[in-house]
Chains A and B, each alone.
Chain A
């Protein structure tokens, strides 16, 4: 069935609404002088299952449904939402929102359907892709198989979650756009203890805009288990990490969180329109070595950060952020694109109907270079090889960013030697990529676990990169 029709049948019909009601709401909203206005209807079904201590301890199911109403005039935004898709409540929300804008000529809006864009994931319901008993069986098998891997495993914790989102966006031109978004994720954490009582933890997970079969194909779930155990055992052997400024080689894939923190946030349109980012007014300038080309791409098939359309109805695209070291452009939603006189880039995202859209990343990664990853390590006399990371954070104004290694090794005389404990790396966004002197030919995208926070709103994102050599960055260990 056509996505738009399916979404209308999920969001409008059961609540006694049809297109005439949307016309009426838009008419009401547009009796003032607005630059952007939209109605955003959403229903989200979410489930989670968790296992620990060898049992499926709990599960939960949630339904969130509602609508947000927005009007933007110049730089001013009015916003209200309701947890019930109900005409009187929507009219009241519309009244509240209009308060920020001036009275204007009446405009009559005729609803029309939009739908002519590629889709990067199927319109499936992942919650129903396995029977409940099959989900339980998967958890038990994964727990059992993982525990067999090493006698030092003390506990295994697994979480399995799925979301099924329907969104319907009506904008001020009366265009109706819809999307159905599946999302699944599986995480496994193991706790290991050695003969001396030293404990450590390792975690691995992944996910996609797909259904639960994603974890069964090619034994993906069981590979997560193996990887979590491997990381935990490496950490059992880890010594104190070094402190100070040194050469760091970042492994491929998830370490691309570097790009998300150091570059991506600073290139979001709102900060640059307001001139609050360390990258403001720097388009055309060199911000990275000429080995670096960085893109944001919402069009990758089935990736966690991908979207067919953003939350303002703009089709997503591949946006080149940095090309051969030169800053090319910003990530835009409609408001900031209009105020900066550029086209929206399909990066207007919101956590839900209860939040305002903001310019956000989708999948952010660096293109592959020419260097052999082994050659990159061999080129380092003394430094750090960081293979896995936890979270990160950035101050977009000063440009300072951090990201925390969870698996790292010393490089001594061109060889990876001993594992060291996790440590936070800190750098300066506009500078760090100018210190990239080698880029591997091994581009990898992450396994699909990223969640990005901004202004209290969380959205799923992806990152990726090839192996990178950064000539110098500050490593926050304890060993001086």
Chain B
């Protein structure tokens, strides 16, 4: 289902942008436009707290004067703004240096077929109904346990939008998409210990969201489990990343094989194509054409066809993550990843979460990470963490105020197992990941 009339109106604006760019002397140009409509409703302590209506729009244009490039954007879609925005981009292009790698993608790489990815499911939820769902979600959390003493509330978000992209190689396409979510965050208190935690559900189609009650209960359960956490002693031990934090390891990997970091030599995985980085059992796929998924896309931010492909097979890197600029810098072809990856799936192993805990045996289960602490040039890794101490596969007590550290290159090699407890809520779909050994700093 698509909103054809509105898409056509926006395509005309993109067309006007490209025409104006050519008129002002650009030898090539790319233009994009997006509009978003949405609502965000939150409830706290049993009553509505905020109602926000979102309605935003923006256009952007990149012009090339030969090998010189300039960009400009505006929130105003009027004809005057189109002229002025193109003018601003052209002014910049005149002052930019000649960059022999600059330019539009190669014409033959642009998408020509546009299958419907089933990512547009508008939700015509009334504000009053949204409020009652948020209240129900928070209520389920607050009534979960007597130690739940306070709340940051529950929020329901519903967004839909249209994106249109065009360039002077005759590419022009637009599509609608939607994204809905519900989240809840509550506090627990027991003695001196006060903790909060949260949970959320997100989907293209609101009917696939978890129930408000399930989200609230999960948020409360997570909060209660964290109460009375303590530091552990400084040590080295195996670390199990729960599925919801394991995606961070994979995104650090993706960052290291992304074109920008590779051509700038700011990656710890330079010249890693064809190299074994992970153990044999690790396979990572990109699946851009999955129906109804959060990262699905027929083409990337430049209009280049996305690829269903293996990024890692049997632990060996099969391809980098490139847009057309970084590809040219590296003497390669675009992999359809301008703007990032699309539905990365890490092949799950045979172990569910409790089997992963048994494999961990005695060590640290990490369920929250804090801070940045990752050096992309060297792979050095040091982050704040919270989670649970595990002995003989059984959770013993909550742990907080510790750090976990290592080097990503070693950590990738030391992956012992990947769980089948996949978290589907993001663009990176992975189960929990067990690392053989890391340095824990505590008391």
Contacts and interface: CB of A to CB of B under 8 A. Distances in A.
A264 interface: no
Interface stretch (B93-101, B310-318, B332-340, B419-427): B93-101
Given A58-B69, A63-B74, A154-B265, A397 B196 contact: yes
B97 A422 contact: no
Contacts, number: 248
B52 A80 contact: yes
B48 A397 contact: no
Residue from B53, B152, B229 whose CB has the most chain A CB atoms within 10 Å: B53
A276 B51 CA distance: 21
A28 B176 CA distance: 34
Contact of B405 (A79, A199, A276, A477): A477
Contacts of B405: 241, 243, 423-424, 476-478
Interface in B368-401: 370-373, 375, 377-378, 380, 382-384, 386, 400-401
Contact of B50 (A49, A65, A78, A276): A78
Contact of B439 (A61, A79, A477): A477
26 contacts: A52-B264, A56-B97, A59-B71, A61-B85, A61-B89, A62-B73, A62-B74, A63-B76, A76-B48, A84-B75, A96-B51, A133-B95, A191-B265, A199-B266, A200-B377, A201-B266, A243-B403, A244-B234, A244-B441, A354-B56, A390-B372, A398-B226, A422-B382, A423-B382, A476-B373, A476-B384
Contacts of A149: none
Contact of B55 (A81, A403, A424, A427): A81
A62 B61 CA distance: 10
Given A66-B75, A200-B377, A480-B235, A80 B55 contact: yes
A99 interface: yes
A79 B50 contact: yes
Contacts of B48: 76, 100
A155 interface: yes
B49 interface: yes
B95 A132 contact: yes
Interface string A368-388: 000000000000000000000
Nearest to B438: A478
Interface in A35-60: 47, 49, 52, 55-60
B195 A475 contact: no
A311 to B, nearest CB: 16
B349 interface: no
Interface in B192-232: 193-196, 226, 229, 231
Given A59-B92, A276-B196, A477 B441 contact: yes
Contact of B234 (A58, A243, A276, A391): A243
B165 to A, nearest CB: 17
The 7 closest A-B pairs by CB, nearest first: A476-B403, A402-B384, A55-B97, A402-B371, A59-B92, A243-B441, A60-B71
A426 B407 CA distance: 19
A59 B95 contact: yes
Contacts of A284: none
A15 B235 CA distance: 64
Contact of A56 (B95, B196, B440): B95
A400 interface: yes
Given A56-B95, A56-B97, A478-B406, A245 B443 contact: yes
Given A79-B50, A154-B265, A474 B377 contact: no
A93 interface: yes
Interface in A82-111: 82-84, 93, 96-97, 99-100
B96 A356 contact: no
Given A63-B74, A83-B76, A477 B382 contact: yes
A113 interface: no
B56 A244 contact: no
B152 A274 contact: yes
Given A77-B49, A397-B195, A474 B266 contact: no
A421 interface: yes
B401 A426 contact: yes
Interface residues of A, number: 79
B378 A199 contact: yes
A397 B55 contact: no
Contacts of A400: 370, 384, 386, 400-401
A477 B195 CA distance: 26
Interface string B415-443: 00000000000000000000000011111
A97 B50 CA distance: 10
Nearest to A428: B401
A96 B266 CA distance: 48
Contact of A476 (B74, B382, B400): B382
A244 B442 contact: yes
A422 B407 CA distance: 12
Interface residues of B, number: 76
B403 A65 contact: no
A326 B75 CA distance: 47
Interface string A396-407: 011011111000
B150 interface: yes
Contacts of A115: none
Given A100-B48, A274-B150, A402-B371, A424 B264 contact: no
B91 A391 contact: no
Given A97-B51, A193-B265, 10 more contacts: A61-B88, A77-B49, A83-B56, A136-B95, A276-B150, A391-B371, A398-B196, A400-B384, A402-B370, A478-B439
Interface string B151-163: 0100000000000
Nearest to A472: B443
B440 A83 contact: no
Contacts of A414: none
B259 interface: no
Interface string B61-85: 0000000011111111000010011
Contacts of A403: 371
A476 B404 contact: yes
Contacts of A459: none
A404 B371 contact: yes
A475 B74 CA distance: 45
Contacts of A480: 234-236, 439
A34 interface: no
Given A56-B95, A61-B92, A244-B442, A474 B75 contact: no
Contacts of A191: 264-266, 377
A84 to B, nearest CB: 7
A19 interface: no
Contacts of B377: 191, 199-201
Contacts of B85: 61, 63
Given A154-B265, A424-B384, A392 B152 contact: no
A49 B96 CA distance: 9
Nearest to B194: A397
B192 to A, nearest CB: 10
B396 to A, nearest CB: 19
Contacts of B250: none
Nearest to B263: A53
Contacts of B96: 56-59
A85 B383 CA distance: 44
Nearest to A400: B401
A64 interface: yes
